[in-house]
Amino acid sequence: MDPSIPRQVGDPHDPDSDPLETREWVEALDALIQSEGPERATFLLRRLLQHARARRVPLPQVLATPYVNTIGLAEQPPYQGNLEIEARISALVRWNALAMVVRANRASGELGGHIASYASAADLFEVGFNHFFRGGERGDLVYFQPHSAPGVYARAYLEGRLAEEQLDRYRRETGGRGLSSYPHPWLMPRFWQFPTGSMGIGPLFAIYQARFMRYLEHRGLADSAQAADWSSRKVWCFVGDGEMDEPESLAGLSIAAREKLDNLVLVVNCNLQRLDGPVRGNGSIVQELEGLFAGAGWNVIKLLWSSDWDPLFARDVHQWLEKRFLETVDGEFQTYAAADGRFNREHFFNKYPELRELVAHLSDDDIDRLRRGGHDPVKIFSAYWHATRHEGQPTVILAMTKKGYGMGTAGQGRMTTHQQKKLDAGELHAFRDRFALPITDAQCEACEFVRPPRESPEMAYLHARRQKLGGYLPSRSTKAPPLATPEAKSFAKFALEAGGKEMSTTVAFVRMAGALLRDAGVGKRIVPIIADEARTFGMADLFRQIGIYSPTGQLYEPEDSHQLSYYKEARDGQLLEEGINEAGAMASWVAAATSHSAHGVAMLPMYIYYSIFGFQRVGDEIWAAADSRSRGFLFGATAGRTTLSGEGLQHEDGTSHLAASTIPNCRAYDPGLACELAVILEDGMRRMLGAQEDVFYYVTLMNESYPQPSLPEGAREGILRGMHRVREAGKALSAPPGFARKQKVRLLGAGAILQEALAAAELLENDWGVGAEVHSVTSFTELRREAMEVSRRRRLDPPSASGADREETSTWLERQLSQTGEPVVAASDYVSAVADLIRPWIRDPYVALGTDGFGRSDTRAALRRFFEVDRHSIAVAALRALGDARAKDAIERYGIDRKAAPPWGR
Ligand SMILES: Cc1ncc(C[n+]2csc(CCOP(=O)(O)OP(=O)(O)O)c2C)c(N)n1
C-alpha cells in the first residue's frame, strides 16, 4: 500500500488500546444521529474537532474517506427508468461503436481509433443520455472524453442523426460526410460543440464555461426568456483518470470551488489505466483525486462499487472489505479486472478468512459479475442525481470502471487495451454474447451496424427519453442574432485624425476600448480579460469604469477606495481579472468567444496579455479556440522582441506572429500605427459580430510612443489586406556619385519597426542619395494567405492566354510591389521567418530582417542594433541589396560591428 494513502479514521484494524471505550463513543454518536439527525452530528463533530485543535491534539488526515461509495444505500433515489430496455440500448451503442472502429481498421490499418475507453465509459454516458443531459437550445453543455467519440457517434446513429454511410466513414473525412476522430467543431460544426482531443483542455474549458455562464447570468445577459432554465443548466465534463495528470486538468479546481460552481459536474472515469499502463500502479488514483478535489473545496462523490456489492457490504459488519480495498493498489485492481472470478476469489477474497467466508456462497461466475460502480446504471443514476442537486460546490464523480469492459480476453484490463482496434471472430462472438446482442454469427463477423426499427421498444424508449430531456445532443447551434457594429470614427476619431500626436498603439487601444465599452450596441457584449497586467497596459481605469467580475461582489473596502479609479469588484462587473493565470484567461476567452453558439448570445472577448505568454504559453488552447470557431480579439501587448525593451529573454516575443500565421482562421495583425489599429478593430467587429464569420483576431500592441499620422486617404484596403504605402521615395533625387541613374529601394516595416524603416529611408536619401519608399506591413500572414490562394488558382486553373483575367489572378503584394528591379528590404520585430512568409511573391531581390535569437534586456535602440533591425542596419541592407559598394562605408559610418557573431548565435 502506498504510505501516502492515509489510513481511515476509526479503521477497525488500527490497534485499539481500549475497544470498550471506543465502542461507547461510537454508540453515543449512533444514538445522537438516531435521535437528532445527521446535521446535529456534524455540528458536534465540528465542535469537537475545533476543541481538539485548540488542545493541540494531532488530527487525522480527513481528506480521504474509505474506499467505498460516498452515497449510501439509504440516500439512493429509486431508479427512474427501465433498466432492461436501457441495457439493450446500451448494448447496441457499444456494439456499433466497436463495429465502427473495427470496420475502419479492416479497411485501412492506418486509421486507428479506440474501443476500450468507450467500453469503460459507456454506462456513464448512457445514464446521462437517458436521464440527465438536457438538450435543446439552452440545454446542458457536455464535454465528452475525446477518444470515446465512437460511442457518441454510435448513439447518434441509433437516434437517426447519423447515417450508416457516415459511420462507415469514421476517421475518413477528406471526401466529405466523414466523422472526425475526436470532437472537433471545426470539422463537424453542427454536431460537436467542444474540442477535447488534447488532454487537459476539456476540463479546463468546462470549468471556465460554467463560470462564464454565471458571468452572463449576473450581468443580465442570459437569455431572459429562458431564465429559469438557464440557472439550472449544467456543464458536464467527462475525463479520464490519466488525463487528470495534465496540469490543465487541475488548473481550474480552485476557481470552480471559490466561485461555487454548482452548475458543474466533472465525471472522472477511473478505469485505473491510461495508454501505456496503470495511472497509479503503486497507489490509488481515486484516493489521490479525492484528496485533491476535497482539498480544493469540491463535493466529491466516489462511485466505486455496483449494487451487486451491497449485500456483501451489509454483511461485512467489521468492514473487512474496506480494509482489503484500501490495501489494494491500482496495479492489483487492474490485474483483477483482467482476470476471472476464480482468480479474484483466490487473490482478493481469500487473503482473509473473513472475506473468504463473506463470498463463500458465491460461485466464481457470481464473483466475476461483481461490477464496479461505473458500470451500474443504478449507482450512476444515484451519483448524478445527487450531483445535480448539490448546492454551493462543484461536484466531481470518481467513477471506478474497467478499461475495455466487456472486451473479455481481447482487452478488459489488459495493459495493451488502449490501442486495441482489431478483434477476431471469436472475440466478436464473445462480445456479442456478453451483451446479449441480437445478431447472427455472420452479422457479427461482418461487424454489421445494428439499428432496430423506429417502432421497436428500444428506439421508442430512446426517442421518448431524449424528447423528455429537450432534444438530442451533442448538437452545435450557430444561431445568434448579428450585432450592429460601430464605425471607427465613433470610437477612434482621435486615431483616424491623429495629425502627428504622439502615442503608443497600446495607449490608443485603451482609449478605443474605453469608447467601445460605452457603445450602445457592442459595449455590453465586450468581455475585457486581463491576467494581472491591467496596470502594465495602462488599463487600471477600467477597474472602476466597468468593475471587476466577482460573484460575491466586494466584501471589503479596497485600500484605494478614496481614489477616483479604485479597485472595484462587483457581481455584475464586466472585466474578468484572472490573476496570474494565462491558461484560465484563455479558457475564459474561449467561453466568451463561443457564446454565440453555446448560449445564443454573441459576446466580444478582448484578452490583452504579454504577447509571449500567448501562442508560446497557451498555444494549444488557442488551437482549440480556433477549432471551436471562436470569435474575438486577442491582443498581444508590449509585443515584439525589441519594443518591450527591458524585460529580457523570457518576456520578449519574437515568434507569436509566426505561430499565428499557422492558424487558418486567425487574422493576425501587427499594426504600427494607431489609425491602422482603428481600421482593424472596426473591420474585425464587423466580420465577427455583423457578418458572423468564424474568425478571430490576433493584434499586437506596442508601448513605444511616437508621432501618429492621420489615416492616409485610401489606406483602408491595404491596411486590411496586409500592406499599404506610407512614404513615397524622395522626389528630388539625383543619381548618387558614380551611378549612372537614380537608385531606389522599397522598405517594408512592420509594427514598431515601421519607425525604423521610415528613419532608414531618411538615411538612405540624405546620406547616400538613394530613394526609398516605405510600406507599412500590417500583416505578413494576410499577404501570404491571399498570395497562396492566387498561386493555387494559377496552378490548378491558370489564367487565359489573352491575359484578360490577369488582374483577378494577381496578388495584392504583386500590385503593391510590382517588378521594377528595385530591391525590397523588410524588417519586423519578429524572427525573420515572419517577413520571409511573402518571399515567393516578390519578383525583385528581397531581404528579410528580423529578431532571430534569444531576447535580452537593454534599451530599444541597443536591442535593435543588436538584432540588426535598427535604421542603420536596414540602410546597410538596402545598399547591399542594390549592389552599392558604399555599403562598406555605411557599415563604418554607422559603427556596425561587422565581426560580431550573429544575434542568434549569442
Ligand atoms: C495533450 C495530449 N497528450 C497525449 C494524448 C494522447 N492520448 C490520448 S488518450 C491517452 C490516454 C488517456 O488515458 P485516460 O485519460 O486514463 O483515459 P482512458 O482512455 O483510460 O479512459 C493519451 C495519452 C492526447 N490526446 N493529448
- Which of 20-24, 45-49, 154-158 has the highest mean predicted lDDT (pLDDT)? 154-158
Q: Which residue's CA is the nearest one to ligand 1's atom 19?
A: 117
Cis check: omega of the bond before 474, within 30 degrees of 0: yes
b/e sequence 456-493, b meaning 16+ C-beta within 10 Å: eebbebbeebbeebbebbbbbbeebeebebbebeebbe
441 Cα to the center of ligand 1, angstroms: 33
What pLDDT is recorded for position 230? Answer: 78
- Residue with more model confidence, 168 or 804: 168
Ligand 1 pocket member 275 (CB < 6 A):
yes
- Residue with more model confidence, 3 or 652: 652
Closest CA to 720 of 794, 625, 786, 817: 786
Q: What is the dihedral of CA 212, 214, 216, 217, to 10 degrees?
A: 170
Which atom of ligand 1 is nearest the CA belonging to 620?
1
Whole-number Å distance between alpha carbons of 193 and 643: 39
- pLDDT cut 90: percent of the chain above it: 86
Which atom of ligand 1 is nearest the CA belonging to 242?
16
For the segment 785-811, the average pLDDT, to the nearest whole number, is 79
Work out the angle at residue 537's Cα, subtended by the Cα atoms of residues 592 and 643, and round it to the nearest 5 degrees: 115
Closest CA to 590 of 148, 181, 198: 198
Whole-number Å distance between alpha carbons of 571 and 3: 44
Closest CA to 399 of 255, 253, 283, 244: 244
Which three cell numbers mark 195?
A: 474540442
Report whether pLDDT(727) > 60.
yes
The answer to which of 59-68, 788-797, 842-851, 864-873 has the lowest mean pLDDT is 59-68
Could you report the per-residue pLDDT of 815-860, keeping only the tens digit for each? 999 999 999 999 999 999 999 999 999 999 999 999 999 999 999 9
Which atom of ligand 1 is nearest the CA belonging to 269?
21
Contacts of 39 (CB under 8 A, 6+ apart): none
What are the backbone angles phi and psi of residue 363, rounded to the nearest 5°?
-80, 170
Ligand 1 pocket member 531 (CB < 6 A):
no
Ligand 1 pocket member 243 (CB < 6 A):
yes
What pLDDT is recorded for position 5? Answer: 39
For the segment 633-648, the average pLDDT, to the nearest whole number, is 94
Ligand 1 pocket member 240 (CB < 6 A):
yes
Ligand 1 pocket member 420 (CB < 6 A):
no
Per-residue pLDDT band for 4 (boundaries 50, 70, 90) equals: very low
Work out the angle at residue 766's Cα, subtended by the Cα atoms of residues 760 and 770, and round it to the nearest 5 degrees: 75
What pLDDT is recorded for position 228? Answer: 60
Beta-bridge partner residues of 239:
268
What pLDDT is recorded for position 419? Answer: 84
Beta-bridge partner residues of 771:
744
Q: Which residue's CA is the nearest one to ligand 1's atom 17?
A: 240
Ligand 1 pocket member 271 (CB < 6 A):
yes
629 Cα to the center of ligand 1, angstroms: 24
Ligand 1 pocket member 274 (CB < 6 A):
yes
Answer for the pair 405, 120: CB distance below 8 angstroms, yes or no: yes
408 Cα to the center of ligand 1, angstroms: 22
Which atom of ligand 1 is nearest the CA belonging to 403?
20
Report whether pLDDT(106) > 60.
yes
Which atom of ligand 1 is nearest the CA belonging to 147?
9
Per-residue pLDDT band for 530 (boundaries 50, 70, 90) equals: very high
Which atom of ligand 1 is nearest the CA belonging to 271?
20
561 Cα to the center of ligand 1, angstroms: 49
Which three cell numbers mark 574?
A: 464586466
Residue among 243, 248, 414 to mutate when testing ligand 1 (max atoms within 8 A of CB): 243
Residue among 123, 244, 274, 623 to mutate when testing ligand 1 (max atoms within 8 A of CB): 274
Whole-number Å distance between alpha carbons of 883 and 22: 96
Report whether pLDDT(108) > 60.
yes
SS3 80: coil
What does the chain come to in residues?
Answer: 906
Report whether pLDDT(737) > 70.
yes
Report whether pLDDT(70) > 90.
yes
b/e sequence 318-332, b meaning 16+ C-beta within 10 Å: ebbbbbbbbebbbbb
- Residue with more model confidence, 413 or 180: 180
CB atoms under 10 Å from CB of 451, counted, come to 17
Helical residues (DSSP H) of 797-859, grouped into ranges: 812-816, 832-835
Closest CA to 235 of 203, 260, 191, 195: 203
Which three cell numbers mark 545?
A: 469604469
CB atoms under 10 Å from CB of 652, counted, come to 27
Ligand 1 pocket member 724 (CB < 6 A):
no
Which three cell numbers mark 723?
A: 500592406
Strand pairing class (723-727; 770-777): antiparallel
Which atom of ligand 1 is nearest the CA belonging to 273?
20
Per-residue pLDDT band for 566 (boundaries 50, 70, 90) equals: very high
Q: Count of H helices and E strands in the chain?
A: 38, 20
Kind and range of the H or E element at 706?
strand 706-708
What pLDDT is recorded for position 578? Answer: 97
Ligand 1 pocket member 148 (CB < 6 A):
no
Which atom of ligand 1 is nearest the CA belonging to 120?
21
Residue with cell 534599451: 859
Residue among 199, 267, 372 to mutate when testing ligand 1 (max atoms within 8 A of CB): 199
Q: Which residue's CA is the nearest one to ligand 1's atom 12?
A: 274
What are the backbone angles phi and psi of residue 6, rounded to the nearest 5°?
-70, 145
Residue among 118, 275, 333 to mutate when testing ligand 1 (max atoms within 8 A of CB): 275
Whole-number Å distance between alpha carbons of 345 and 326: 17
Report whether pLDDT(601) > 90.
yes
Per-residue pLDDT band for 809 (boundaries 50, 70, 90) equals: confident
Ligand 1 pocket member 112 (CB < 6 A):
no
Answer for the pair 699, 673: CB distance below 8 angstroms, yes or no: no
For the segment 518-545, the average pLDDT, to the nearest whole number, is 95
Which atom of ligand 1 is nearest the CA belonging to 114?
19
Ligand 1 pocket member 199 (CB < 6 A):
yes
Strand pairing class (526-530; 576-577): parallel
b/e sequence 597-609, b meaning 16+ C-beta within 10 Å: bbbbbbbbbbbbb
Residue among 418, 419, 620, 627 to mutate when testing ligand 1 (max atoms within 8 A of CB): 418
The answer to which of 108-112, 147-151, 710-714 has the lowest mean pLDDT is 108-112
Which atom of ligand 1 is nearest the CA belonging to 182?
25
Beta-bridge partner residues of 264:
235
Per-residue pLDDT band for 745 (boundaries 50, 70, 90) equals: very high
Which three cell numbers mark 575?
A: 472585466
Ligand 1 pocket member 403 (CB < 6 A):
yes
Answer for the pair 14, 319: CB distance below 8 angstroms, yes or no: no
SS3 883: coil
What pLDDT is recorded for position 724? Answer: 98
Residue 857's Cβ-count burial label (10 Å; 0-12, 13-18, 19+) is: middle
Work out the angle at residue 167's Cα, subtended by the Cα atoms of residues 164 and 169, and round it to the nearest 5 degrees: 115
Q: Chain-wide mean pLDDT for the chain?
A: 94
Ligand 1 pocket member 147 (CB < 6 A):
yes
Residue among 101, 114, 115, 117 to mutate when testing ligand 1 (max atoms within 8 A of CB): 117
Which atom of ligand 1 is nearest the CA belonging to 198?
26
Report whether pLDDT(783) > 50.
yes
Per-residue pLDDT band for 14 (boundaries 50, 70, 90) equals: low
Per-residue pLDDT band for 138 (boundaries 50, 70, 90) equals: confident
Ligand 1 pocket member 69 (CB < 6 A):
no
Ligand 1 pocket member 621 (CB < 6 A):
no
What pLDDT is recorded for position 2? Answer: 37
Which three cell numbers mark 567?
A: 479597485
Ligand 1 pocket member 241 (CB < 6 A):
yes
Q: Which residue's CA is the nearest one to ligand 1's atom 10?
A: 275
Work out the angle at residue 218's Cα, subtended by the Cα atoms of residues 690 and 515, and round it to the nearest 5 degrees: 45
Q: Which residue's CA is the nearest one to ligand 1's atom 22?
A: 275
What pLDDT is recorded for position 801? Answer: 62
For the segment 186-209, the average pLDDT, to the nearest whole number, is 98
241 Cα to the center of ligand 1, angstroms: 9
What are the backbone angles phi and psi of residue 713, rounded to the nearest 5°?
-55, 135
Q: What is the dihedral of CA 245, 251, 256, 262, to 10 degrees?
A: -30
Ligand 1 pocket member 280 (CB < 6 A):
no
Closest CA to 783 of 860, 846, 720: 720
Closest CA to 604 of 544, 685, 541, 489: 685
**DSSP letter (8 states) at residue 131:** I
Whole-number Å distance between alpha carbons of 556 and 297: 22
The answer to which of 7-21, 314-328, 837-851 has the lowest mean pLDDT is 7-21
What pLDDT is recorded for position 474? Answer: 97
For the segment 425-445, the average pLDDT, to the nearest whole number, is 94
117 Cα to the center of ligand 1, angstroms: 9
200 Cα to the center of ligand 1, angstroms: 9
116-127 vs 149-158: helix axis angle to the nearest 10?
Answer: 50
Could you report the per-residue pLDDT of 365-406, keeping only the tens digit for each? 999 999 999 999 999 999 999 999 999 999 999 999 999 998
538 Cα to the center of ligand 1, angstroms: 42
Answer for the pair 706, 755: CB distance below 8 angstroms, yes or no: yes
Helical residues (DSSP H) of 199-319, grouped into ranges: 201-218, 227-232, 247-251, 253-258, 285-296, 310-315
CB atoms under 10 Å from CB of 25, counted, come to 10
Ligand 1 pocket member 415 (CB < 6 A):
no
Residue among 144, 147, 237, 330 to mutate when testing ligand 1 (max atoms within 8 A of CB): 147
Ligand 1 pocket member 184 (CB < 6 A):
no
Contacts of 347 (CB under 8 A, 6+ apart): 332, 335, 336, 339
Which atom of ligand 1 is nearest the CA belonging to 121?
21
Whole-number Å distance between alpha carbons of 728 and 190: 50
Which three cell numbers mark 903?
A: 544575434
Ligand 1 pocket member 418 (CB < 6 A):
yes
